[in-house]
Chains A and B, each alone.
Chain A
């Protein structure tokens, strides 16, 4: 399978615990995005990496959230001291470099469903 891979698919954690999610983008895709989707809503942008550089973070990304993309390959999203409001689907997407003024399609992974109890 050469699509975007996310792990784990499901995570149940107790309030206050830390969790970490992993995203493996499509190879040769240098752009990587994290989104959060709550029930009945569209995905909301969290953060963006171009290669290993984190170039944009949403104000939704509180200081309890941190994302990394070492060496510009896979990425991790960590949530510290989880709260019940963090329960959501966390989606990762990747796209290849833009050519000229073109736009490259973003491919999404299947997401990690987080439940904080």
Chain B
């Protein structure tokens, strides 16, 4: 019930294309869904996050789509750039501690 499933494991996109990463969760107590970006040798950095009371959130080229009934959420990166090449993690949290449960990550490579 604590798991967050993420797909695909890896993704290759051409510069200017759209990158789409999907996540699914089971625990209906989760109420916060962030996406993190991680470069090699660095800690994860928050990209964008959503609460379940909205179905979509957009910040610049990054959009989260959230489907509460399906218990799924996805990250869309528009106009993907080589600098976006990194590992992306979805996560979910809920409860008093707000500890994050992470997906297994997606390695994104944007080809110039």
A interface residues (Cβ-Cβ under 8 A, vs B): 4, 31, 33, 35, 40-45, 48, 50, 55-56, 91, 93, 95, 98, 103-111, 113
B46 at the interface (CB under 8 A from A): yes
Assess whether B89 is in contact with A42, with CB atoms less than 8 Å apart.
Answer: yes
Closest A residue, CB atoms, query B102: A42
Other-chain contact of B97, A4, A48, A91 (Cβ < 8 Å): A48
Chain A residues closer than 8 Å to B42, beta-carbon distance: 110-111
Q: How far is the CA of A105 from the CA of B96 in the complex (A)?
A: 14
Q: How many A-B contacts at CB < 8 Å in the complex?
A: 63
Contacts of B97 in A (CB 8 A): 48, 50, 55-56
* A101 to B: closest C-beta gap in Å: 9
Flag if A109 contacts B98 (CB, 8 Å).
no
Q: Quick check: A95 and B105 within 8 Å, CB to CB? A: no
Distance A98 CA – B51 CA, assembled complex (angstroms): 15
* A106–B98 touching, CB < 8 Å: yes
Q: Evaluate contact between A42 and B105: CB separation under 8 angstroms.
A: yes
Taking a contact as CB atoms under 8 Å apart, the answer to whether A33 and B99 are in contact is yes
Partner of A42, one of B93, B96, B99, B103: B103
Known A95-B98, A98-B98: A42·B43 in contact at CB below 8 Å: no
Q: Which A residue sits closest to B36, measured CB to CB?
A: A108
A31 to B103, CA, bound (A): 22
Taking a contact as CB atoms under 8 Å apart, the answer to whether A45 and B99 are in contact is yes
Q: Is the CB of B93 within 8 A of A103?
A: yes
CB-CB nearest in chain A for B105: A42
